[in-house]
Structure 1
Amino acid sequence: MQFKHPELLYALFLLLIPIIIHLFQLRRFQKVDFTNVAFLKKVTIQTRKSSQLKKWLTLFLRLAAMTCLILAFAQPFTASKTAMNTQKETVLYLDNSFSMQAKGTQGPLLQKAIQDVYNNISGNEKISWFTNNKSFKKSSVQDFKNEVLKVDYDQKQLSPSEVLLMSNRMFSKDVGIEKRLIYISDFQQKEAFPNIPTNTIVDAVQLKSVDKGNIAIDTAFIAEKNAGVTQLKVIVSAQGDDLQNVPISLFNDNVLIAKTAVDLSESSKNTVTFDIEHNGGFNGKLELNDPTLLFDNSLFFSINAPQKLKVLSINDANSSFLQRLFDQPEFEYTQKSFRSLDYNEIPSQNFAILNELKDVPASLITALKSFSDNGGSLFIIPSEESDLRSYNSLLNTFQLGTISEKTVTEKKITQIIFDHPLYRNVFEKRVVNFQYPKVNAFFNIGSNATSVLQFEDGKPFILQKNTAYLSTAPINSKNSNFQNSPLIVPTLYNMAQQSLKLPKLYYNLGRQNQFSVPISLKQDEILTLRDSVSDFIPLQQTKANQVNITTNEDPVKAGTYAIEKEQEFLQFVSYNYNRDEGNLQYANVDDWEGVNSFDNIASLFANIAEENTINSFWKWFAIFALLFLLAEMLVLKFMKN
């Protein structure tokens, strides 16, 4: 037991006063002689005994009353260490990730959690709290209740270590303060549980769904494309038992185009195919109906009207193989003889090829450097009669290294760098049995550029630095059979395609995405991304004939966005939520060492309230004081001497 005013306990010394008064009374019994001595002696003995009992009883009652009165004024109480600590802070984390859309016994997990927190939180303390996408520091209880009702689902989900790190930032840096983190989540399995800081109490509630099944549209991709039809493949996955056929619909600008069913009865993952007939752009959306998680029931994608990539070959050798490769509908191919080249044509191109020039004048190097700085890509094919000094000047400008003497010996091109962006998704598997092309002569090079293709001895055949590529050997039919190799198509085709990063079918939100829009902007002109309700200006870099766009934090909502220049439509770009949240695998919070776990939010707040309860007893002591005084009055009135 503790006292609010312990200094008043010194008043207990005042209890000595009634004790002294009762023990040292001034009045004494006096003997009076009567004739009947035997009778009077008996009466005297009885009177003395009765008087002493009454005095001792009165003394006890007065002492008890005064003691209770003093204790009442000292205000005794009992409380835990937590309740006694006036320096304490509380931070609450509420998981609002998409996995919290799962249904519990009383509806979606997030909505039930919001209602329970709203109903149970009370008091006058300031509370700091955060979700996956918002944070509030030192809010009043009323402000907290107003804001928590506005919490909506978000694509992000913080891992336990990120939650601890975020809460530590929201706690004050003062030493000796009791820090409590309230952690409300479904604890979707992301990583191993981290260690709890020694100065932090973690109270956790794991919200559990009643249905562990989920059906999701995983991804979509173009499998085949010709002049009028695009074949779109869609992968649908499922978790849970008793899965049957699931209908899936294809929309174009909210108009139903096709509907089919995917059979999941025998496999948890299956693929369906849609044939899209279109001449221009296609603003698509795939949709299925699954009540468990809603965010992965839709997938947005965009197929923009094809834009021709501008390819320029500057030739000092036979270029028929380039014409065969780039004389396609998706390219605008131009070939120029080196002697008749107009430098003013270079800036408007996307991809330029130096086809076995014997020397590269400084003026052309300057024009190509400006072209590269403005987003263009370059492929350099040397000549057997190359002027090494001019070539090294060119290569040094693009940080491709330095070439030395020509070596005349046959070498096979045997090593494909499969992880290089040029060959990513080109081969179904890493080819080991291949009809490798060869060269009869090549140039030795010293370079720190990235290899794309290598000879059998590991030396580079094609290498890359930024947007520039270099072949270390001429590829004319006399020196090499590379022109007839299957490798030439993906190599040069992807060089051209990657010279302009056109928007993909769709991008995932929550990560950095980059693409280019083929347009020339005037000074102070900008591009805007817009959907039906909002718009924003993305990070963008203007080049001579394109604008490079980078998106990161924005947009935050899945959908298809129009890219506009001063309300002039250019093309579409689509974004979707990451599908990781659809994996309904959960960790067990009871396995997290040092964490106090609770079955529900109500029991957590009840436990906190109990820990912070102060039991005061001064009223009881005041009542006992009155009872003892009343008892004393009854003794004095009704007890005979």
Structure 2
Amino acid sequence: MQFKHPEILYALFLLLIPIIVHLFQLRRFKKESFTNVAFLKEVKQNSRKSSQIKKWLILCSRLLLLTTLVLAFAQPFISKYNSFKSEKETVIYIDNSFSLQAKGSQGELLKRAVQDLVGNIPEEENISVITNNNLFKNTEIKTIKNDLLQLDYSSNQLSLESVFLKSKTLFSNKKHTLKNVVLISDFQQNHTNFNPEIDSLTHINLVRLQPINNNNVSIDSAYISESTPANIQLKVILKNSGRTIENLPVSLFNGENLIAKTTVNINQVAETNFSLPTNEIINGKITIDDVNLRFDNSLFFNISNKPKVKVLTVNGNNDSYLKRIYTDNEFNLVSTSLPNLNYNIIDQQHLVILNELDNIPNALVSALNHFTTQGGFIIIIPSENINTPSYNLILSHYNSRLGGLLSSEKRVTTINYSHPLYKNGVFEKQVSNFQYPKVNSFYEVATNNFSAALSFEDGKPFLYQNKNAFVFTSALNKNNTNFKNWNVIVPTFYNIGKQSFKPPELYYTIGKDNAFEVETQLQQDDILSLVNNGISVIPRQKYFNNKVAINTSETPNIANIYNVQNKNETIKSVSYNYDRSESNLVYQDLSNLENVTISNSIVDVFNTLKSDAKVNALWKWFVIFALVMLIVEMLILKYFK
């Protein structure tokens, strides 16, 4: 029990006054001599005893009367917390990710949750609300009511740990303040482990929103499985997290035109194929009909004529193996000797290969330094008779230098499988025992901040990358090495070529770091935009001589096909789709979480918060008890004989 005015309790010292008065009244009876009659003695003894009992009862009743009056004026109350002296702060997280499109017993989980919030939070209470893409700080529910009722789904999904850390920043620094965190979500399995550290004044309430079923079919992915001069085979992967479905329609659109349709039977995973004509631009959309989650019912993609990667080889030795790798269907290869090199075409290339030149002229060094600064890539393959200073002049731009030539046999034994050249499907598995290629001579190298793709048995690099330069430390002619006979040579040079220019992929995933390049010539102050149906997004971009490198992550945030535009000119089309991680309706086990309260009802949680902070005043009961004591005293005076 607590008191609103505890200083009034000092009035309890006034209880000494009636005690002192009553003690003086309880003095001894004066003895009077009387006839020694037994009856008179009994009357005297009974009268004295009953008088003392009556006065003690009156004393007790008056003490209780005064005590209850003093306590009533001190205004006692009871509460679960010291609420009268403590302020209350509340932060609410509403998970508006796509999995909340699932149906509950009263409709979509998100829409129902927002309605329950609006109806159960007092209009004057100060709160902060967090969603996956918005923040409402220190406001009232009546102020943000319309914003919450119009809350849309977001492709972004915050982890519980991130939400809690953000909640802590919204609380004030006041001491003795009650801090309530309410997390409203379906708590899918993809959430990370949540074990918050809290103090005695912080309380975390988890409200789990549960769908009535876990059925959902999604278009998981699509890719080109086969390509011929006449047709392209587009393979589509579908996944199901519920009961088996038969004859599910799958439709393929080019723009607004339906160009193909099929049906599939799906238990957990199903595949289907569409045949598309080669060399035709397709702004495609694959759709299915599923009544549960809607965000994964469509997948956008683009098929267009990819520009060829431009490769220039400046030869001091035979480049026939390069011509077999850089074929006409994907690359535009220009081969020339150093005396016949046209310096004006260097800036038009994506990749320049110095193929075993003995000497690199200063003019070529300057041209290549400018070329790589503008986003171009180079491959340097030294000869066995190099002019070391000329090589080191260009390598100094990449914090590297070559030493003397060592004429001793050495084997290439190590593949860096995590290097970008090899990590994306080049090898089915990592092999530690293979037919090692060998070299008869190689150059010592001194370099900083390099990434070795291939290494010798002693750990020294055979092929390393620094910025946009790939450098071999040995000549590749057949008299010096059998590297050309090793099957790794093809993905090595091929992937370097592909890295030098990255045209848009079939589609990209919103929320991930995406990068692609488009060939265009921009005027000063021109910028590229991603445009679709009135939505215009300016992505991060970097302009080079003949291309623009574009990077996106969380924007655009709506799945669709976007045109890459320079003012009103469309250069390219790219597709963005939502991440499919929320398609699988599997949920986290919350029973092992500590320091949290778990509920299935928003109404119950807020009723509990109200009752926890509710003040129950008791002064009326003490006034009633004082009146009772007054009546008791009157009855004692009147009827006690």
TM over 0.5: yes
- Answer whether contact 2:12 2:67 (CA < 8 A) is retained: yes
What is aligned with 1:138?
138
What is aligned with 2:317?
317
- Answer whether contact 2:507 2:575 (CA < 8 A) is retained: yes
Residue 183 of structure 1 aligns with an amino acid whose one-letter code is: L
- Residue 226 of structure 1 and its aligned partner are, at CA, apart by 3.3
Is 2:90 the counterpart of 1:102? no
Flag the 1:23–1:367 CA change in 2: closer, same or farther, 3 A. closer
Residue 500 of structure 2 aligns with an amino acid whose one-letter code is: S
- Answer whether contact 1:396 1:402 (CA < 8 A) is retained: no
Name the SS for the 1:494 alignment partner: helix
What is aligned with 1:380?
380
- Residue 490 of structure 1 and its aligned partner are, at CA, apart by 2.5
CA distance in 1, matches of 2:198, 2:100: 27
Residue 474 of structure 2 aligns with an amino acid whose one-letter code is: A
- Residue 601 of structure 1 and its aligned partner are, at CA, apart by 1.0
Residue 340 of structure 1 aligns with an amino acid whose one-letter code is: N
What is aligned with 2:608?
607
CA distance in 2, matches of 1:192, 1:23: 71
CA distance in 2, matches of 1:439, 1:170: 63
Flag the 1:286–1:363 CA change in 2: closer, same or farther, 3 A. same
- Answer whether contact 2:100 2:110 (CA < 8 A) is retained: yes
- Answer whether contact 2:374 2:544 (CA < 8 A) is retained: yes
Residue 420 of structure 2 aligns with an amino acid whose one-letter code is: P
CA distance in 2, matches of 1:420, 1:21: 99
User: Once structures 1 and 2 are overlaid, which stretch shifts more, 7-16 or 197-206?
Assistant: 7-16
- Residue 412 of structure 1 and its aligned partner are, at CA, apart by 5.5
- Residue 540 of structure 1 and its aligned partner are, at CA, apart by 1.1
Flag the 1:621–1:337 CA change in 2: closer, same or farther, 3 A. same
Flag the 1:403–1:74 CA change in 2: closer, same or farther, 3 A. same
What is aligned with 1:249?
251
What is aligned with 1:422?
421
- Residue 606 of structure 1 and its aligned partner are, at CA, apart by 1.1
User: Once structures 1 and 2 are overlaid, which stretch shifts more, 537-546 or 613-622?
Assistant: 613-622
User: Once structures 1 and 2 are overlaid, which stretch shifts more, 376-385 or 480-489?
Assistant: 480-489
Name the SS for the 2:237 alignment partner: strand
CA distance in 2, matches of 1:12, 1:417: 85
CA distance in 2, matches of 1:185, 1:133: 15
What is aligned with 1:193?
194
- Residue 120 of structure 1 and its aligned partner are, at CA, apart by 0.9
Name the SS for the 1:340 alignment partner: coil
Flag the 1:2–1:469 CA change in 2: closer, same or farther, 3 A. closer
- Residue 416 of structure 1 and its aligned partner are, at CA, apart by 3.7
User: Once structures 1 and 2 are overlaid, which stretch shifts more, 110-119 or 490-499?
Assistant: 490-499
Flag the 1:85–1:101 CA change in 2: closer, same or farther, 3 A. farther
CA distance in 1, matches of 2:271, 2:456: 39
Name the SS for the 2:591 alignment partner: helix
Aligned residue-pair number:
615
- Residue 568 of structure 1 and its aligned partner are, at CA, apart by 0.5
- Residue 139 of structure 1 and its aligned partner are, at CA, apart by 0.6
What is aligned with 2:544?
543
Residue 613 of structure 1 aligns with an amino acid whose one-letter code is: K
Residue 241 of structure 1 aligns with an amino acid whose one-letter code is: R
Provide, for residues 417-450 of structure 1, a one-character-per-residue CA deviation record: whole Å limited to 9, x for no partner. Answer: 3333223223334457866655554434344532
Name the SS for the 2:443 alignment partner: strand
What is aligned with 1:497?
498
Flag the 1:23–1:388 CA change in 2: closer, same or farther, 3 A. closer
Residue 517 of structure 1 aligns with an amino acid whose one-letter code is: V
What is aligned with 2:179?
179
- Answer whether contact 1:236 1:262 (CA < 8 A) is retained: no
Residue 104 of structure 1 aligns with an amino acid whose one-letter code is: G
Provide, for residues 237-257 of structure 1, a one-character-per-residue CA deviation record: whole Å limited to 9, x for no partner. Answer: 222333444322222113222
Residue 421 of structure 2 aligns with an amino acid whose one-letter code is: L
CA distance in 2, matches of 1:447, 1:233: 45
CA distance in 1, matches of 2:106, 2:508: 35
Alignment of 1:90-489 (within 5 A): 90-122=90-122, 124-189=124-189, 190-199=191-200, 200-265=202-267, 268-407=268-407, 409=409, 413=412, 415-423=414-422, 424-430=424-430, 439-447=439-447, 449-455=450-456, 459-483=460-484, 485-489=486-490
Flag the 1:10–1:340 CA change in 2: closer, same or farther, 3 A. closer
Name the SS for the 1:187 alignment partner: coil
- Residue 108 of structure 1 and its aligned partner are, at CA, apart by 1.8
CA distance in 2, matches of 1:238, 1:97: 19
Flag the 1:123–1:16 CA change in 2: closer, same or farther, 3 A. farther
CA distance in 1, matches of 2:20, 2:470: 110
User: Once structures 1 and 2 are overlaid, which stretch shifts more, 62-71 or 154-163?
Assistant: 62-71
CA distance in 1, matches of 2:151, 2:536: 22
Name the SS for the 1:114 alignment partner: helix
User: Once structures 1 and 2 are overlaid, which stretch shifts more, 355-364 or 309-318?
Assistant: 309-318
- Answer whether contact 1:206 1:589 (CA < 8 A) is retained: no
Name the SS for the 1:541 alignment partner: strand
CA distance in 2, matches of 1:58, 1:463: 104
Flag the 1:356–1:71 CA change in 2: closer, same or farther, 3 A. closer
- Give ranges in structure 1 of 5+ residues lacking alignment: 26-51
Flag the 1:372–1:53 CA change in 2: closer, same or farther, 3 A. closer
What is aligned with 1:510?
511
Residue 213 of structure 1 aligns with an amino acid whose one-letter code is: N
Residue 288 of structure 1 aligns with an amino acid whose one-letter code is: I
- Residue 324 of structure 1 and its aligned partner are, at CA, apart by 4.0
Residue 81 of structure 1 aligns with an amino acid whose one-letter code is: Y
Name the SS for the 2:407 alignment partner: strand
- Answer whether contact 2:86 2:176 (CA < 8 A) is retained: no
- Answer whether contact 2:400 2:445 (CA < 8 A) is retained: no
Name the SS for the 1:372 alignment partner: helix
Flag the 1:366–1:622 CA change in 2: closer, same or farther, 3 A. same
CA distance in 1, matches of 2:177, 2:22: 53
- Answer whether contact 2:405 2:441 (CA < 8 A) is retained: no
Provide, for residues 304-323 of structure 1, a one-character-per-residue CA deviation record: whole Å limited to 9, x for no partner. Answer: 33212221111222333333
What is aligned with 2:46?
none
- The percentage of aligned residue pairs carrying the same residue is 45
CA distance in 1, matches of 2:21, 2:457: 117
Flag the 1:328–1:625 CA change in 2: closer, same or farther, 3 A. same
- Answer whether contact 2:372 2:378 (CA < 8 A) is retained: yes
User: What TM-score results when the alignment is normalised by the length of structure 2?
Assistant: 0.85
Provide, for residues 18-42 of structure 1, a one-character-per-residue CA deviation record: whole Å limited to 9, x for no partner. Answer: 99999999xxxxxxxxxxxxxxxxx
Provide, for residues 350-409 of structure 1, a one-character-per-residue CA deviation record: whole Å limited to 9, x for no partner. Answer: 111112211001121111010001011111222233222222222232334424214264
- Answer whether contact 1:314 1:352 (CA < 8 A) is retained: yes
- Answer whether contact 2:249 2:263 (CA < 8 A) is retained: yes
Flag the 1:228–1:58 CA change in 2: closer, same or farther, 3 A. same
CA distance in 1, matches of 2:428, 2:11: 93
Flag the 1:61–1:552 CA change in 2: closer, same or farther, 3 A. same
- Answer whether contact 1:401 1:447 (CA < 8 A) is retained: yes
Alignment of 1:545-584 (within 5 A): 545-584=546-585
Name the SS for the 1:295 alignment partner: coil
CA distance in 1, matches of 2:213, 2:138: 37
Residue 469 of structure 2 aligns with an amino acid whose one-letter code is: A
CA distance in 2, matches of 1:20, 1:443: 112
Flag the 1:55–1:300 CA change in 2: closer, same or farther, 3 A. same
CA distance in 1, matches of 2:306, 2:183: 50
CA distance in 1, matches of 2:598, 2:318: 75
- Answer whether contact 2:87 2:178 (CA < 8 A) is retained: yes
- Answer whether contact 1:357 1:386 (CA < 8 A) is retained: yes
- Answer whether contact 1:284 1:300 (CA < 8 A) is retained: yes
- Answer whether contact 1:72 1:621 (CA < 8 A) is retained: yes
CA distance in 2, matches of 1:483, 1:525: 45
Q: Over the residues paired in the alignment, what is the CA RMSD in angstroms?
A: 3.6
CA distance in 2, matches of 1:82, 1:569: 65
What is aligned with 2:34?
none
What is aligned with 1:86?
86
User: What TM-score results when the alignment is normalised by the length of structure 1?
Assistant: 0.85
- Answer whether contact 1:216 1:582 (CA < 8 A) is retained: yes
Flag the 1:368–1:149 CA change in 2: closer, same or farther, 3 A. same
Flag the 1:157–1:86 CA change in 2: closer, same or farther, 3 A. same
